[in-house]
Amino acid sequence: MAKQRANIRDVAKESGVSLTTVSLIINKNDQRISEPTRQRVLDAIEKLSYTPSRLARGLPNRRANTLAILVPQLQNAFADVYFGELISGIYEEAAARGFRILLEVARRDYIKRREYMQLLEDCSVDGIFFLGATEEHKFLKEFDASDRPLLVVNNHFSQWDLHHVVCDYAAAGRDAADHLIELGHTRIAHISGPNDVVLTTRELTDAFVGRLAEHGVRLSKSMIVGGEFQVETAKLACDELLERDPDLTAIFCANDKMALGAYQSLRAQSKQPGKDVSIIGCDDIPVAALSDPPMTTVRMNFFEVGAESCRQMLKLIETKSMDGRINKRIPVELVRRASTAPIR
C-alpha cells in the first residue's frame, strides 16, 4: 500500500524538480518558471491527483484562508431571510477568492467569556464578520485589540467606529417620505424597529421624519410606534395607531414583516391596505412581491451588503492596514407596487 495523499515532495520527485518550483507554480507566482517545467509539474500534479493541504499552507504565514461569521443566538437566526441573504453574499464572494467560511453562533455566555477571540487567537480564521449586532454587543470593542479585522455587517455603532458595511437606511427613510408626499399623503404614521438597540433603524426613522418635515408634514411622536420587527407586534402597533388617528392615510413600516402585520390590522378593521390606507415596507423580502396587495417597499440589497462586506474584509486582510475605517453604504431603491396609492 503506497502513501495515501501525495504531497508537494512527491510532485517534485515525480516531475524532477525541487519543491520550491512546485510551490511557486501552485501559488501562481509562476512568472519566472519556464513553460516546459510548468507543464511537467502540472502533469505530475494531475497524475498524482495532488491537492495542497490547507493546514500546512496556512502554517508558515499564519493564514487560515478562512473567515468566520459570528451570529448572535436569536430565536432562529438561521430561519431568517435577512441573515440568509447576508450569509449568501459573504459566502459567494469568499468562495470566489478561495476563502472558506466558518460559522459561529454567539451565545450570551460565549460572548461573556470572550470565546470569540479564540477564533482569531488560535489562527482558525483571518477575520470575523459580525451579523445581527445591537447596542448590547458592546464587547465588540475588544476585537480592536486583535491584529485581525472584525467587520460589522449591516449595523454600526455610535460610540466606537468599527469597520462596517450597511444599507443606506437614511436614504431609505427619505425615499419612503418622498414617495408618500408625492402621493399627497399628510396624515402619516410610522411603525419603527427596535430603535433603542439598533442604530440603523433609528437612522431610518430620523430620516423619514426629517424628510417629511422638510415637506412641511409634521409627524408627532405619538404616531411612531415600535414593532420589534415582527408581524404580530406590528399588528398591535398598527391597531394602536389607528386608534390614535382613525383617519390616517399612510404608514411606513421599518420592515416588510411589520408591513404584513399592518395589513392584518387594517383588514381586521375592514380597511383595505393600498386603498384606504397606503402601506410602505422596507427590505423587499420575497413575500413582499407576493403579498396581497403586492407591497410597495424600499429594497435593501442584503446579498450585496454581504458581498461588499466580504470584499472589504479581504482588502483589510491583504493590506493589513488597520488604520482608516471601512464605512460603506449600500444604495437602496424604492419599489412601487400596489400597497400605496394617491390620496383621494
The least CB distance from residue 40 to DNA, in Å, is 9
Q: What is the Cα gyration radius of the chain?
A: 26
Site residues (vs a second copy, CB under 8 A): 4-5, 51-56, 58-59, 62, 64, 66, 69, 75-81, 83-85, 87-88, 91-92, 95, 100-105, 118, 121-124, 147, 232, 286, 290
Counting every residue written for the chain, the total comes to 344
19's contact among a second copy, DNA, none, with CB below 5 to 8 A by partner kind, is DNA
69's contact among DNA, a second copy, none, with CB below 5 to 8 A by partner kind, is a second copy
40/187 with CB nearer DNA: 40
The least CB distance from residue 10 to DNA, in Å, is 8
Classify residue 277 by its DSSP letter.
B
Nearest to 313 by CA among 181, 193, 152: 152
Nearest to 209 by CA among 241, 254, 257, 275: 254
The amino acid that residue 227 corresponds to is G
Does 59 contact DNA by CB under 7 A? yes
The whole-angstrom separation of Cα 193 and Cα 107 is 23
The least CB distance from residue 27 to a second copy, in Å, is 14
Does 8 contact DNA by CB under 7 A? yes
21's contact among a second copy, DNA, none, with CB below 5 to 8 A by partner kind, is DNA
Nearest to 337 by CA among 300, 301, 290, 304: 290
**Cα 279 to Cα 84, 230, 298, distances in angstroms:** 25, 16, 12
Interface positions, 202-261, toward DNA (CB under 7 A):
none
Angle 19-26/8-15 helices, nearest 10 degrees?
110
Among 57, 97, 329, 337, binds DNA (CB under 7 A): 57
18's contact among DNA, a second copy, none, with CB below 5 to 8 A by partner kind, is DNA
**Which of the stretches 60-68, 74-82, 145-153, 306-314 binds DNA when contact is defined by CB under 7 A?**
60-68
32/112 with CB nearer a second copy: 112
101's contact among a second copy, DNA, none, with CB below 5 to 8 A by partner kind, is a second copy
Nearest to 70 by CA among 83, 85, 55, 79: 83
The answer, yes or no, to whether the previous bond of 293 is cis (omega within 30 of 0) is: yes
**Cα 136 to Cα 131, 141, 162, 222, distances in angstroms:** 13, 11, 15, 26
42's contact among DNA, a second copy, none, with CB below 5 to 8 A by partner kind, is none
The whole-angstrom separation of Cα 321 and Cα 324 is 8
275/315 with CB nearer DNA: 315
116/169 with CB nearer a second copy: 116
The whole-angstrom separation of Cα 220 and Cα 285 is 29
The whole-angstrom separation of Cα 295 and Cα 285 is 10
The least CB distance from residue 64 to a second copy, in Å, is 6
Does 52 contact DNA by CB under 7 A? yes
320's contact among a second copy, DNA, none, with CB below 5 to 8 A by partner kind, is none
CA 64, 70, 73, 79 dihedral sign is negative
Beta strand pairing call for 224-226 and 164-167: unpaired
CB atoms within 10 A of CB 265: 24
147's contact among a second copy, DNA, none, with CB below 5 to 8 A by partner kind, is a second copy
- Do 104 and 73 touch, CB atoms closer than 8 A? no
177/260 with CB nearer a second copy: 260
Run of H or E including 67: strand 66-72
Among 43, 46, 53, 141, binds DNA (CB under 7 A): 53
Interface positions, 15-44, toward DNA (CB under 7 A):
16-21, 23-24, 26-27, 32-34, 36-38
Q: What residues make contact with DNA under the rule CB under 7 A?
A: 5, 7-9, 16-21, 23-24, 26-27, 32-34, 36-38, 50-53, 56-57, 59-62
